[in-house]
Amino acid sequence: MLAVIPARGGSKGLPGKNLKLLAGKPLIAHTIETALITPELSRIIVSTEDEVIARVAEQFGAEVPFMRPTNLASDNSLAIDTYKYTVDKLINDEGIDIDEYLVLLPTSPLRDASDISNAVKIFRNKNANSVISVTKGDKPVSWFKSLDTEGRLLENDITLKNRQDEDDYYCPNGSIYIFKKELIDEGKYYSDKTYSYVMPKSRSVDIDFEIDLQFAEFLILNNHAQK
């Protein structure tokens, strides 16, 4: 299966984050190295508009067969458009068929090869349209409130329960996405054949800010990111 790693150069929360060092290696390198040892993956393609990211990606063993157009690398561009562009260009340039593919965000560096393999198995066994990795929420949904412009807590319409009586909720953790191409071509991530792959919190860190990078470093250096 083809793996696409989208990695643009810009980031507001943590500028240059895809090249920030994590445990001595650029952030993107962790995802590339994990992908390369995952037996289900046949090719690792990095999609970027940034020349430095492209060079680093190739140094760590990924392919960068073409650069991403800058209009697909702005703060307002949609990730789904990048996936479509990358896969369609591979099909057109190389004359190959791609009916399914996997997306690995470089901002989720703590997944391991078994996570990817297990997600692929679910995709195959369920004949899924998509598989999306998730992690269990820390707090019940009913605890969350909105704020008004003056900072007052607003009530919601959810009935409060004791915590042990609350349903479990799961949130996509940004680590693994597997798609049938036709689903993405329709502009969708989800269908009635979308399944989850549940990951532990220790491997679900998503790097948006400096504190996330520091936390990931702590987990790696203290071996908490392992099973």
User: What's the pLDDT score for residue 20?
Assistant: 96
User: What's the pLDDT score for residue 46?
Assistant: 98
Closest by Cα among 90, 86, 92, 91 to 104: 86
User: What's the pLDDT score for residue 43?
Assistant: 97
Domains and CATH numbers, the chain: 2-136+171-221 (3.90.550.10)
| Regions of the chain where pLDDT drops below 50 | 227
Tokens 């970027």 -> residue: 48
For the entire predicted model, the pTM comes to 0.90
Q: CA angle at residue 127 from 124 to 129, to 5 degrees?
A: 105
Cα 6 to Cα 46: distance, rounded to the nearest angstrom: 6
Q: Take residue 37 and report the two structure tokens written for it.
A: 């040892």
Query: Please, which residues bridge with residue 153 across strands?
Result: 147
User: What's the pLDDT score for residue 227?
Assistant: 41
The three-state secondary structure class of 223 is: coil
Contacts of 218-226 with CB under 8 Å at 24 or more apart are: 219/110, 220/22, 220/23, 220/110, 221/23, 225/110, 226/112, 226/202
